[in-house]
Structure 1
Amino acid sequence: MDYEILRALNAWAASNSGVSWTFFLFTREVLKNLLPIVLFWGLWFSFDAETRQTAREKLVGVLLIGAIAIGVARGLATVLPFRTRPMHDPDAGISIMGWLNTSLLEEWSAFPSDHAVLFFALAVGLFQVSKRAGVVALLHAGLIVCLPRVAVGLHWPSDIAVGILIGIALSVLLFRPVQALVHKSGLVPFFEAREAIGYPLLFLATYELSRMFHSVRQVMQFVWE
């Protein structure tokens, strides 16, 4: 089933320059990574005074769940058997897009998809804050983040499917306890009373999340080595 779905999507993209170009745009960071962060900041300022603190506590919880999701995804990819990406597997029998860097992610296992884990965890978390924003985030996660990654050969369909299940499960299981922890810590009112410190730190957290904590991982890799 993996091969059939992969080859069908890849053939569709390879035979249609418009689809290939669209997927190229979808794999760029601006379209792929930023929408959940835009939704986060939109929701941060969209609630009235009566419900604002609770909503903001939930949103901080979503950020924490996102960080946990990345950690879980990368941890699983490290401890599970290495899986070659379709674009590096000659048996996959797919066309490689001319714009795709084939040396990309050669040393990174494909299973599970950390993109699927993160963006579905964020989408389900945002859905629990605002159903409208959550639906937009879910569509973004499925159509803009995950679909192109299969079609161009970055992931097998099963990498994405398992990643989606992990992301949804993490968000559903952790949302209430993480929100309760944020509420108990008094983090939101503490930083609201110190906006000059709170907002720069919150912006930094959302920026790193939008880059899947790439800078943090580089620092950790440097320290580890």
Structure 2
Amino acid sequence: MTDFDTIIQTFLTEHAFHSELLNHAVRVIAGLYTFKGLVLIPILWWIWFKPSDRSEWKREMVIATIVSGLLALAIGRMLAHYLPYRVRPVHNPDLHLHFPPAGLREPAFRTWGSFPSDHAMLWVSIAAGIFMTWRRVGIFALLYAAIFICAPRVYLGLHYPTDILAGAALGVAITYLMTRDALRVRFAAPALRCMERFPALSYTAAFLLSFELITQFDELLMLVQSISKAI
């Protein structure tokens, strides 16, 4: 735990956890998919269908943003799994900090380290893609990701502030790289042509992929874990 982490989380535990109503609100926001992808993913659909003079470019950017989010989620979980294990603040008795009970059901919660935050990597990556496509709405998306997705996880002791900052930085870097013209046109343009040729299949797949991103593939992960235990 860095001095930066110590200052912020000591302040939170000593001054912020005195309102049961606030604690309950933060738990609800952190625990429901409604307050995560169900806000940001529909913005990408809005950009996709909104009439525009640059509709082809914007649709390529949406595809690149989705790919960036998938990469960010996968890389984030790989790093959290393979990097040296970092105990989450709420599970670290050496900190002597008392966080409000999170009450969250998270797959592999005890086996993944807290660094970096896969939530921050995924949703800041998506928000960054929105920002690069539509600045005014993108500012809202970035603020939303910071306030309603990232901050509650620090508040509840699920992540250190540096977990969030590192995840956010990696998410932005992945999206920035994947949306550059030289790289984006190599995969987004062919994908867009395929969607125009097979719209029924493509939009069905896009809906299913959007659902899985919103849920961060958690239920699929739990299903795989259940099957592996049964076998």
TM-score by length of 1: 0.89
CA deviations on 1:22-56 (whole Å, 9 max, x unpaired) are: 212221211123211121111111133x4222211
- The alpha-carbon deviation at position 199 of structure 1 amounts to 1.0
Task: Tell whether 2:148 aligns with 1:144.
Answer: yes
Moved segments of 4+, more than 6 Å: none
Task: Tell whether 2:211 aligns with 1:207.
Answer: yes
Q: Equivalent residues in 2 for 1:38-117 (5 A)?
A: 38-48=42-52, 50-98=53-101, 100-101=103-104, 105-117=109-121
Is the 8 Å Cα contact of residues 10 and 153 (structure 1) preserved in structure 2?
no
Task: Tell whether 2:28 aligns with 1:25.
Answer: yes
Give structure 1 stretches of 5+ with no counterpart. none
| Counterpart secondary structure, 1:143 | helix
CA deviations on 1:32-89 (whole Å, 9 max, x unpaired) are: 23211121111111133x4222211110110001011011111111221001101111
* Distance across 1 between alignment mates of 2:169 and 2:60: 25
Give structure 2 stretches of 5+ with no counterpart. none
2:186 paired residue number? 181
* Amino acid paired to 1:201: A
Task: Tell whether 2:131 aligns with 1:127.
Answer: yes
* Amino acid paired to 2:185: A
| Counterpart secondary structure, 1:128 | helix
* Distance across 2 between alignment mates of 1:152 and 1:96: 6
- The alpha-carbon deviation at position 125 of structure 1 amounts to 1.0
- The alpha-carbon deviation at position 197 of structure 1 amounts to 1.2
Is the 8 Å Cα contact of residues 86 and 115 (structure 2) preserved in structure 1?
yes
CA deviations on 1:90-148 (whole Å, 9 max, x unpaired) are: 12222232452599712221011111111111111111111122111101111011111
* Distance across 2 between alignment mates of 1:6 and 1:161: 14
Percent identity, please.
Answer: 30
Is the 8 Å Cα contact of residues 86 and 154 (structure 1) preserved in structure 2?
yes
* Distance across 2 between alignment mates of 1:13 and 1:3: 15
2:160 paired residue number? 156
Is the 8 Å Cα contact of residues 7 and 93 (structure 1) preserved in structure 2?
no
* Distance across 1 between alignment mates of 2:91 and 2:163: 15
Is the 8 Å Cα contact of residues 121 and 171 (structure 2) preserved in structure 1?
yes
| Counterpart secondary structure, 2:179 | helix
Task: Tell whether 2:40 aligns with 1:36.
Answer: yes
* Distance across 2 between alignment mates of 1:101 and 1:199: 32
CA deviations on 1:196-219 (whole Å, 9 max, x unpaired) are: 211111111111111122345456
Is the 8 Å Cα contact of residues 99 and 155 (structure 2) preserved in structure 1?
no
Aligned length, in residue pairs: 223
- RMSD value, Cα: 2.4
CA deviations on 1:144-178 (whole Å, 9 max, x unpaired) are: 11111011110111111111111111111221144
